[in-house]
Amino acid sequence: MSGSSPRLFLRHNALPLLAAAIFALMFGLYLALQPNGIRTDVLVTAANKGVLLALIASAQTLPVLTGGIDLSVGAIVVLCNCLASTLLSGTPTQIAFGVAATLCGGLAAGMVNALAVVVGRLQPIIATLATSTMFYGVSLLLRPNPGGDIDDDFASALTGAVGGVPVSLLLLLAIVLLLWLPFRRSLTGRGLYAVGSSEASAYMSGVKVARAKACAYVGAGLLSGFAGLLLTLVAESAQASAIQAGDLTLNSIAAVVIGGTSLFGGVGGIVGSILGAFILRTIGDLLFVLSAPPLWQPMFQGLILLGAVSFSALPTLRARNRLETYR
């Protein structure tokens, strides 16, 4: 698949490589500017925030690759956050059960979306908008008041560092190496790309369209579950907040676009989205270091999203045939 010749590899991965370069540049600038110097705790804080967004962006990537979208990823993260905040305490067995239950919660939410889109044949955008209301309702049920009881040792172990390397980063690496790469090489994983490129052609070629789509939404639920878990460990509390859910969804889409995944489906991948998430996070950190007024932050987020999508739309302005730009 990838990298039989270096030139082909470069051409296939131009956007993720560009994203990586931009991230390296920006993160270097951040490290140089921030006042505490390069210390492990600075890296750990940056990594935890970055990995959180990276997980949500990865979740968003899967439905986007099929040409759909999941507007409920933020709500699933909040749901799993609320779920985890009631379960992550007590004996190690109980904590392990809590982790498993949280991930299952994300998985279940993803299955609801998959059922709606695949079996119910609803438009992904409207279906996930409706399910996100349900997920928010369940979050309120689980946690009417902000708070939570999380085992301190467990939280600091997973949000700390091992030998100078942030644990959350290792977790992300494990997810990419053990879940994403094998999945991408599998029949269903390649089906995901085929469905996104052209659903009709994929169907005609014998790709199991329904299975690929279902996997995308269930996978999005699972990855959102991981994100919810990490959010719980970082914040050590939970709050059923619709605003936070909306913010997370918005940022996930921005990260996916910045990472070079096409919103029309079929092109891109999780690695790009992770880099996109890191870039987005670093922009926020840079704004903070450069002491931009905090009130400007929401507007920057929106402008960055608009800038990224407009940039990715530039090729359509050069379309040779006007007709090609119409559906």
Partner 1 sequence: MSGAGPGLAMRPPGGAGGAGAARSMLRRLDPPLLVASACIVAILLGGSLYNSLFLSPHYLVQQLQVASFLGIVAAGAMLVILLGHIDLSVPWTLTAGAMLATGLAGSSLGGLAAIPIAVAVGAAIGLVNGLGVAFLRIPSMIFTLGVNAVLQGLMVLYTGGSAPPSSAVPVVRWLAGGRVLPGIPNAILVWALVGVFMILLLRATPFGRTVYAIGNRERAAYLSGMPVKRVVCLSFMLAGSASALAGLLLTGYAGKAFQGMGDTYLLPAIAAVVLGGTSIVGGRGSYAGTIIGTILIVLLQSMLAVMQMPDAGRQIIYGVVIFSMLLLYGRSRSGQA
Query: Residue numbers of the site for partner 1 (CB under 8 A)?
Result: 69, 116, 120-123, 125-127, 129-134, 136-141, 144, 200, 242-243, 250, 253-254, 257, 263-264, 295-303, 305-306, 309-310, 313, 316-317, 322-323, 325-327
Query: Cβ 322 to partner 1, closest distance in Å?
Result: 8
CB nearer partner 1, residue 6 or residue 206: 206
Name the minimum Å distance from CB 209 to partner 1. 12
Task: Give least dist CB 92 to partner 1, A.
Answer: 31
Q: How far is the CB of 248 from partner 1 (least distance, A)?
A: 12
Of the two residues 100 and 303, which places its CB atom closer to partner 1 in the complex?
A: 303
Report the Cα–Cα distance between both ends of the chain, in Å, rounded. 30
At 49, give phi and psi (nearest 5°).
-65, -40
- Please report where in the chains the tokens 């600075």 appear, as a residue: 42
Give the nearer residue to partner 1 in terms of CB position, either 129 or 235: 129
Hey, what are 153's tokens?
A: 């040792």
Q: Are 143 and 86 in contact (CB under 8 A)?
A: yes
Q: Which is nearer to partner 1, 160 or 307 (CB)?
A: 307
Distance CA 250, CA 306 (A): 11
Q: What is the DSSP letter of 115?
A: I
Cα(2)–Cα(4) distance, integer angstroms: 6
Distance of closest approach, residue 302 Cβ to partner 1, in angstroms: 3
- Type of residue found at 327: R
CB-wise, 48 or 131, nearer to partner 1? 131
Q: Least distance to partner 1 from the beta carbon of 86, Å?
A: 14
Q: Which is nearer to partner 1, 159 or 252 (CB)?
A: 252
The values of phi and psi at residue 245, to 5°, are -60, -45
Least Å distance, CB 105 to partner 1, is: 15
Give the C-alpha separation, 235 to 148, whole Å.
10
Report d(CA 247, CA 87) in Å as an integer. 25
**Sign of the dihedral defined by the CA atoms of residues 20, 24, 29, 31, in that order:** positive
Judged by beta carbon, residue 108 or residue 242, the one nearer partner 1 is: 242
Lookup: tokens for 194: 């085929």
